[in-house]
């Protein structure tokens, strides 16, 4: 039995929506992008949602809007995909990496220790779809001592008056931060990824959720940022295509990171059925939990705690007390049976580029510990109960074989 890791969910509704876009004669940014923004906004409760061509470009744009510059610092977890820190570098600031907790997510205490007068933003990451402790993080940036330390270096920073919090919600569309609050509206800005392997996809894409405080007009900011995604052009291509609508102006230094309608069509069809797709992901996740909870070597991933609930994006199983080499041997055993698994993530200080920048893995012991024993198992709606049972069987056999050898 061959099991893929994360195939996209493509059904007739998705195909029909894409075909509708193709037949419309309009495939770049237009009505389907706006419809997708509205669906995500309605779903998660954000004040405004802007779709872009990737999580990474969205994060770069938001940091540029914030006005970060050389010498400014942005706090990020060491345990995340490289885009979190690369976005900071592309925006012109310095990523300050901190360690995570046993739940994979950024340590709030480590954030506190890392804050300096140069800190302009914090980017926590909802690893595997389980939300960070945002009440604590938002309280931290509003703490009197932290506020006294804050030194704004742009007009936006002066207006905000504190450190900006951007939730890297790449994994967590559909996660509950509290019983009545979904991710996307719990921080100043949240950015979902709509990449091919995500719960909802547009092949490539991202969705920026805006929830700035009252001193900002989120609707006006949406308009400003939408223009910024189109090179700060005063008319988008859809408007320019209308009779007599050719004249435009360029009013600033923008980026070219808009999402196309033909991409948005995929996500639009998926968003309309996402509650049901989420239930299916949870079904798979809970079957894994039920099976692996019987084994002392298994550390189950966080899914429900203190009102928080995962989006069930990744099943991040950890094998207790194994070395990185033993974990790799387990993965090799699993692969022999054509079951595709993954590892989330290689901590950034272990990657050549960041090592060369001076980051050292020894400074992030919990991140390494989480990584060394982690194996990500397939989770997606198309998995049948029989296929899930096969994955469970193969994983148990591989773990026990390697553990016994060790």
Whether residues 211 and 108 fall in one domain: yes
Whether residues 215 and 353 fall in one domain: no
Please state, in angstroms and rounded to a whole number, the distance separating the CA atoms of residues 212 and 305. 27
Whether residues 261 and 240 fall in one domain: yes
**Which letter does DSSP use for residue 344 in this model?**
S
Tokens of 55: 């999580």
Q: Residues 224-240: what's their mean pLDDT?
A: 89
Whether residues 252 and 284 fall in one domain: no
**pLDDT value at position 152?**
98
Q: Is residue 270 part of a domain?
A: no
Q: Does the pLDDT value for residue 406 go beyond 90?
A: no
Contact 108, 137 (CB under 8 A): yes
**Residues 271-305: pLDDT tens digits?**
999 999 999 999 999 999 999 999 999 999 999 99
Phi and psi at residue 192, in whole multiples of 5°? -90, 145
Please state, in angstroms and rounded to a whole number, the distance separating the CA atoms of residues 351 and 363. 14
> End of a domain among 216, 246, 265?
265
**pLDDT value at position 238?**
74
Whether residues 207 and 333 fall in one domain: no
Sheet holding 298-299, edge to edge: 298-299, 315-319, 374-377
Percent of the chain past pLDDT 90, that is, above it, reads 95
Tokens of 236: 């988008």
Q: What is the pTM of this model?
A: 0.97
Q: Is residue 134 part of a domain?
A: yes
Better-predicted residue by pLDDT, 132 or 239: 132
Overall domain count for the chain: 2
> End of a domain among 265, 287, 303?
265
Q: Residues 179-189: what's their mean pLDDT?
A: 94
CA 205 to chain centre: 11
What CATH number corresponds to the domain at position 179?
3.40.640.10
Whether residues 118 and 65 fall in one domain: yes
Q: Residues 376-404: what's their mean pLDDT?
A: 97
Q: Does the pLDDT value for residue 240 go beyond 90?
A: no
The sign of the dihedral angle between the CA atoms of 177, 179, 185, 191 is positive
Q: Is residue 6 part of a domain?
A: no
Burial of 229 from C-beta contacts in 10 A (0-12 / 13-18 / 19+): buried
Tokens of 358: 């001076």
Better-predicted residue by pLDDT, 244 or 393: 393
Cα pseudo-dihedral 332, 337, 343, 346, rounded to 10:
30
Q: Does the pLDDT value for residue 99 go beyond 80?
A: yes
Q: Does the pLDDT value for residue 29 go beyond 90?
A: yes
Please state, in angstroms and rounded to a whole number, the distance separating the CA atoms of residues 5 and 288. 15
The sign of the dihedral angle between the CA atoms of 358, 76, 83, 6 is positive
Q: Residues 384-404: what's their mean pLDDT?
A: 97
Whether residues 72 and 212 fall in one domain: yes
CA 365 to chain centre: 23
Place of tokens 């894994």: 288
Q: What is the three-class DSSP state of 353?
A: helix
Better-predicted residue by pLDDT, 406 or 56: 56
Q: Is residue 4 part of a domain?
A: no
**Residues 319-341: pLDDT tens digits?**
999 999 999 999 999 999 999 99
**Residues 338-372: pLDDT tens digits?**
999 999 999 999 999 999 999 999 999 999 999 99
Phi and psi at residue 218, in whole multiples of 5°? -65, -30
**pLDDT value at position 295?**
98
Q: Residues 181-209: what's their mean pLDDT?
A: 97
**pLDDT value at position 235?**
81
CA distances from 200 to 60, 277, 314, 362, 364 (A): 22, 9, 13, 36, 31
Q: Does the pLDDT value for residue 243 go beyond 90?
A: no
Please state, in angstroms and rounded to a whole number, the distance separating the CA atoms of residues 244 and 240. 8
Q: Does the pLDDT value for residue 404 go beyond 90?
A: no
SS3 content of the chain, % helix, strand, coil (to 5): 45, 15, 40
CA 43 to chain centre: 17
Please state, in angstroms and rounded to a whole number, the distance separating the CA atoms of residues 183 and 201. 17
Q: Give the residue numbers annotated as catalytic, written as ranges.
A: 198
Better-predicted residue by pLDDT, 405 or 323: 323
What CATH number corresponds to the domain at position 317?
3.90.1150.10
Burial of 12 from C-beta contacts in 10 A (0-12 / 13-18 / 19+): exposed
**pLDDT value at position 237?**
74
Whether residues 33 and 175 fall in one domain: yes
pLDDT category at 100 given cuts 50, 70, 90 is very high
**pLDDT value at position 274?**
98
Mean pLDDT of the chain: 97
Please state, in angstroms and rounded to a whole number, the distance separating the CA atoms of residues 86 and 95. 8
Q: Residues 108-127: what's their mean pLDDT?
A: 98
Contact 83, 55 (CB under 8 A): yes
Domain residues for the domain of 149 are 12-265
Q: Does the pLDDT value for residue 384 go beyond 70?
A: yes
Where do the DSSP E strands lie in 145-188? 164-168, 176-178, 181-182
Please state, in angstroms and rounded to a whole number, the distance separating the CA atoms of residues 204 and 259. 9
CA distances from 80 to 98, 191, 310, 344, 383 (A): 11, 15, 17, 8, 26
Measured between its terminal Cα atoms, the distance across the chain in Å is 28
Name 43's bridge partners: none
> End of a domain among 224, 244, 265?
265
Contact 212, 218 (CB under 8 A): yes
pLDDT category at 236 given cuts 50, 70, 90 is confident
Q: Residues 60-65: what's their mean pLDDT?
A: 98
**350, HSE (Cβ side, Cα atoms, 13 Å):** 15
Phi and psi at residue 201, in whole multiples of 5°? -130, 150
Whether residues 259 and 298 fall in one domain: no
Place of tokens 């995604």: 229
């Amino acid at each position: 039995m061959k099991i893929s890791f994360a195939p996209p969910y493509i059904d007739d509704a998705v195909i029909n929506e894409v075909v509708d876009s193709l037949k419309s004669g309009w495939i770049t940014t237009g009505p389907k992008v706006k419809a997708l923004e509205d669906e995500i906004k309605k779903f998660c409760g954000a004040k405004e949602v802007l779709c872009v061509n990737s999580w990474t470009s969205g994060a770069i744009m938001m940091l540029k809007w914030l006005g970060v510059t050389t010498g400014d610092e942005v706090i990020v977890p060491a345990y995340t995909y490289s885009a979190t820190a690369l976005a900071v570098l592309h925006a012109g600031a310095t990523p300050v990496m901190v360690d995570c907790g046993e739940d994979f997510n950024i340590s709030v205490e480590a954030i506190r220790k890392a804050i300096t007068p140069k800190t302009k933003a914090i980017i926590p990451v909802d690893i595997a779809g389980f939300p960070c402790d945002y009440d604590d993080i938002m309280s931290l940036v509003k703490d009197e001592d932290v506020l006294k330390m804050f030194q704004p270096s742009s007009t936006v920073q002066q207006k905000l008056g504190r450190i900006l919090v951007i939730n890297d919600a790449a994994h967590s569309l559909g996660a509950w931060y509290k019983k009545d609050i979904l991710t996307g509206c719990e921080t100043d800005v949240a950015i979902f990824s709509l990449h091919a392997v995500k719960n909802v996809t547009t092949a490539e894409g991202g969705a920026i959720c805006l929830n700035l405080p009252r001193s900002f007009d989120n609707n006006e900011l949406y308009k400003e940022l939408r223009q910024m995604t189109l090179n700060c052009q005063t008319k988008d291509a859809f408007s320019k295509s209308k009779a007599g609508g050719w004249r435009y102006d360029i009013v600033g230094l923008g980026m070219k990171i808009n999402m196309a309608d033909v991409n948005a069509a995929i996500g639009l069809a998926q968003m309309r059925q996402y509650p049901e797709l989420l239930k299916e992901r949870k079904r798979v996740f809970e079957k894994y939990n039920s099976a692996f909870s019987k084994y002392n070597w298994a550390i189950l991933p966080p899914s429900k705690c203190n009102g928080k609930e995962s989006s069930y994006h990744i099943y991040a199983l950890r094998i207790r007390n194994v070395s990185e080499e033993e974990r790799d041997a387990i993965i090799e055993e699993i692969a022999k049976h054509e079951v595709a698994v993954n590892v989330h993530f290689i901590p950034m200080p272990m990657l050549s580029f960041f090592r060369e920048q001076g980051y050292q893995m020894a400074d992030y012991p919990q991140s390494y510990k989480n990584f060394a024993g982690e194996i990500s198992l397939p989770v997606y709606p198309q998995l049948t109960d029989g296929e899930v049972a096969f994955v469970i069987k193969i994983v148990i056999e591989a773990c026990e074989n390697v553990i016994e050898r060790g």
